[in-house]
Amino acid sequence: MILHHHPFLAPCRFVRLALAEHALEVDLVSEPFWEARESFVAVNPGLTLPMGYDHGRGPLIGATVLMEYLDERYGAGRPRHRLMPSDPFQRAEVRRLVEWFLVKFEEEVAGPFVTERILKVEIPNRHGGGAPDSRALRVARENIVGHMHYLGSIASARNWLAGEQFSFADLAAGAALSVIDYLGEAPWDADPAVKTWYQRLKSRPAFRPLLSDRARLVHPAPHYADLDF
């Protein structure tokens, strides 16, 4: 698969994790979406990332679209390790949690952090780069506390986030938290259950490439690549 992405957008990280869990080869194309390249706009007028092509077929645009495609195309061949449960209720719970972390958490926490602390450093001023908005960062820091407690309430009650089975829900939450962790903004002391769950996720082989990512002029927190932190 060819995947157009940005390494620090949580929806893109989610799909990278999903591809790795399916043991699929991927060619990553770092997409400067703020430039609105003519060839990119022609196939993706919404400038949405991630965007994928599978053996020339596509574009497959958006994280949840790619999630559903991967499950339907490749999940059936690995029933014991499928990332979408067979039970309809559990499937609904997976989708609910994926939406929570890739939409609500993204809007209230991950998105502002990435925009203000990573993208504004990377993007030229003429395209919206510049100094970070301190108010946006303050609000994100306030918002993350409630999200951590909510995540902790789920992690402490279940084996994995959507139930007994490891699923796309864990990948979505892990992708969202990983960008916060890179910036040293994750309050791991807010709920021990979250830290324990994240350590389990971080130890999976699929997670290793994310731990090697480095943002331009923004160094990772000292513990970012540590499995035991």
Contact 14, 172 (CB under 8 A): yes
pLDDT of the residue at 79: 78
Section 19-28 average pLDDT:
97
Domain 88-211 sits in CATH at 1.20.1050.10
pLDDT of the residue at 76: 83
CA 18 to chain centroid: 10
**What is the Cβ-side half-sphere exposure of residue 45, based on CA atoms within 13 angstroms?**
0
pLDDT tens digits, one per residue of 74-121: 998 887 889 999 999 999 999 999 999 999 999 999 999 999 999 999
- Per-domain boundaries in the chain: 2-81, 88-211
- pLDDT beyond 80 at 140: yes
pLDDT of the residue at 173: 99
> Do the domains 88-211 and 2-81 match in fold?
no
The model's confidence at residue 228, banded by pLDDT at 50, 70 and 90, is: confident
DSSP code at position 117: I
pLDDT of the residue at 77: 82
Contact 168, 83 (CB under 8 A): yes
- pLDDT beyond 90 at 3: yes
- pLDDT beyond 90 at 20: yes
- pLDDT beyond 80 at 229: no
DSSP code at position 110: I
Tell me the percentage of the chain whose pLDDT exceeds 70. Answer: 100
Tell me the percentage of the chain whose pLDDT exceeds 90. Answer: 93
Question: Which parts of 26-167 fold into alpha helices (H)?
Answer: 38-43, 63-74, 88-99, 105, 111-114, 120-122, 134-155
pLDDT of the residue at 81: 84
| Three-state DSSP class for residue 5 | strand
Contact 116, 103 (CB under 8 A): no
DSSP for 151-164? HHHHHTTSSBTTBS
Instruction: Retrieve residue 229's tokens.
Output: 């932190």
The pTM score is 0.96
Residue type, 189: D
Section 5-30 average pLDDT:
98
Contact 47, 82 (CB under 8 A): no
Greater model confidence, 76 or 179: 179
Task: Determine if residue 62 is left, alpha or beta; phi over 0 gives left, psi from -120 to 50 gives alpha, anything else beta.
Answer: left
pLDDT of the residue at 150: 98
DSSP code at position 215: B
- pLDDT beyond 90 at 205: yes
Section 159-173 average pLDDT:
98
Nearest by Cα to 203 from 170, 180, 179 = 170
pLDDT tens digits, one per residue of 181-195: 999 999 999 999 999
pLDDT of the residue at 80: 82
pLDDT of the residue at 48: 97
We find that the CATH architecture of domain 2-81 is 3-Layer(aba) Sandwich (3.40)
> What are the C-alpha distances in Å from 97 to residues 5, 103, 212?
22, 10, 26
